[in-house]
Amino acid sequence: MRVLLINPFYPISETPSPPLGLAFLAGALERSGHHVKLLDCVVFPFSRDFLASTMRDFKPDLAGATAVTMTVDHALEVLAEIKALDPSITTVLGGPHATFCATEILHSGDQVDVVACGEGENTLVALTKALEIKAPWESVPGIAFRDGGRIKTTAAPPLADLDELAPPSRHLIPLGRYRALGMPISMTTSRGCPFKCIFCVGRKMVGARVRYRDPLRVVDEMEGLSTLGFHQINLADDLFTANREHCLRVCNEILDRGLKVKWTSFARVDTVSRQVLEKMRQAGCTTVSFGVESGSPDMLRRIKKGITLDQVVHAVQLCRDCGIDPHASFILGLPGETEATLAETLAFGERLKAMGVSHGFHILAPFPGTDVRERIDEYDLQILSDDWRRYHANRAIIRTAAVGPETIDAIVIDGERQFDQWLGKIGRLREEGRATVEETWPLVRLEHTVVIYDMMMKRLLEKKGVWPAENSDVKDNPPLGKLIHRVSGELDHPPERIRAAIEFAVENQYLVQHTTEGVIRWSWVDYL
């Protein structure tokens, strides 16, 4: 079969990485003999014309989109467009939001034929087989679908052995665009989380039992990713340090191969030790992110986090001692939040900052499937919106009896203001010639990313990056200057910033020029 997979739009401000879940689905489908194409709306601007052209060229039998809560509306819009263009195509929606809102989605319209629930690799392969042989959908594990006026569901246990998975088909992803934007690339070494935080959907999505990949396979994949030119690999496991022996085996394999690669991971403060962190640092780990969630001991107990503030301080100090940058993440607006508990969180954040620990704030988003949403009557919490586009955790869509959304938003807005002030300070030092290249790089890279992203999403290379070659074009590389001139009128950035970003992209071979049959053509290096 011919399967079109869709990655719905995701804001660049959320630091998206190449879609790993879709890559795993594509790998499973390709191993089963199917033809797969991936439409990535994160780094390609979506339009009906673009979709229609893709469908004419590829002629899919099945179209599947994945979505988190924030992106589900766009995923549904794309699937609706597909149905409008060709109603005979079977459409599938998967991901955490679809898993826990399957009935609602299937009742809300006919753009989705099937919802894939939970881990989707075996489910999608079984669905394609059922479609090929016209078998009843009841034979497909892990789906929900309409049968007349009823919604039927089938069960599927979590995949027992992750080493049975086909390698992710990253060759279908426009990796070059993510690399040009300065995004990291991600991979996993395990699935599952044994903890019961009331705000997290991960445990319900992939199971409480942590399943591990063979460390040899893990490092094989990491070694391959290290050749692609990304500045960083993110280990996207819910909890990389859940099993000490697995963590050490991965690190030792990296060291035994002499692999030089920078990577990051997530951890809990009660699952790290000096031995583990030292080994991680030796193997290339640069940053460990800890979900601290609150600076209030009472709040930590209420959300069933199962950690103490003393453990947080000990863990981040161990990281500092071992040469790893610790990062602490807090969630504001948790059930029972008060002015006093917010003050405790802010004070604890300042304590960590004094230790040289970076930290950031998000706001509780009560995602479908989370304990806090499904049992909301048991908590001091009110949900203010079911507009899924607002579930990005940067502005409040909740309130408690003691704290309203304005109070919670003000803390995040103040953090954003401080970040802007930091960037502004770097900019002033740059203008005065009092900053080194290393000191100005965070600002410069951000400026490059914004310009490059605007060029991609406005399709400026397609519109302005093609013209007939002339004799003058071979002198002093004027095609570059001509490209800069042609696109500058379409971008709302200072001319010097546009030039710097384009020259940076050319220098790093994110942007290349070809001359064929008397035509100069500029293009992004999409596929690596």
Q: How far apart are CA 276 and CA 283, in angstroms?
A: 11
Residue that terminates a domain, selected from 130, 153, 176: 153
Q: How far apart are CA 71 and CA 390, in angstroms?
A: 10
Using CB atoms within 10 Å of the CB of residue 450, give its burial: 0 to 12 exposed, 13 to 18 middle, 19+ buried: middle
Do 90 and 217 have their domain in common? no
pLDDT of residue 46: 95
Residue 477: count other Cβ atoms within 10 Å of its Cβ: 11
Query: Is residue 64 a contact partner of residue 5, using CB atoms and an 8 Å limit?
Result: yes
Calculate the CA 55 to chain-centre distance.
26
Do 94 and 219 have their domain in common? no
Query: Which residues does residue 516 pair with via DSSP β-bridges, in sequence order?
Result: 519
Do 479 and 454 have their domain in common? yes
* φ/ψ of residue 307, rounded to 5: -130, 165
Query: Is residue 252 a contact partner of residue 279, using CB atoms and an 8 Å limit?
Result: yes
Do 144 and 22 have their domain in common? yes
Largest Cα span, the chain: 75
Residue that wins the pLDDT comparison between 83 and 160: 83
Q: How far apart are CA 312 and CA 292, in angstroms?
A: 7
| Mean confidence (pLDDT) of the chain | 95
pLDDT in tens, 263-275: 999 999 999 999 9
CATH of the domain at 500: 1.10.10
pLDDT in tens, 106-148: 999 999 999 999 999 999 999 999 999 999 999 999 999 999 8
Q: How far apart are CA 311 and CA 214, in angstroms?
A: 30
Calculate the CA 165 to chain-centre distance.
21
DSSP reduced 3-state for 88:
coil
Q: How far apart are CA 194 and CA 209, in angstroms?
A: 6
pLDDT of residue 64: 98
Q: What is the mean pLDDT of residues 393-409?
A: 97
3-state SS track over 401-427? CCCCHHHHHHHHHHHHHHHHHHHHHHH
* φ/ψ of residue 286, rounded to 5: -105, -30
pLDDT of residue 348: 98
Residue 83: count other Cβ atoms within 10 Å of its Cβ: 19
Q: How many CA atoms lie within 13 A of 392 on its CB side?
A: 16
Do 446 and 427 have their domain in common? no
pLDDT of residue 327: 97
Q: How far apart are CA 156 and CA 142, in angstroms?
A: 5
Number of domains in the chain: 3
Tokens of 288: 């460990």
Report yes or no on 208 lying in a domain: yes
pLDDT reading at 451 higher than 60: yes
- pTM higher than 0.85: yes
Do 208 and 341 have their domain in common? yes
pLDDT in tens, 51-101: 999 999 999 999 999 999 999 999 999 999 999 999 999 999 999 999 999
Question: What sign results for the dihedral spanned by CA atoms 229, 235, 241, 243?
Answer: negative
CATH of the domain at 144: 3.40.50.2300
Report yes or no on 165 lying in a domain: no
Do 32 and 109 have their domain in common? yes
Do 423 and 445 have their domain in common? no
pLDDT reading at 424 higher than 80: yes
Q: What is the mean pLDDT of residues 30-35?
A: 98
Tokens of 449: 């990313």
Do 326 and 226 have their domain in common? yes
Do 292 and 417 have their domain in common? yes
pLDDT of residue 472: 54
> The domain containing residue 34 runs over which residues?
2-153
Q: Give one DSSP letter per residue of 90-106, joined into a string.
A: EEEEESHHHHHSHHHHH
pLDDT of residue 369: 94
Do 344 and 490 have their domain in common? no
Report yes or no on 160 lying in a domain: no
pLDDT of residue 484: 95
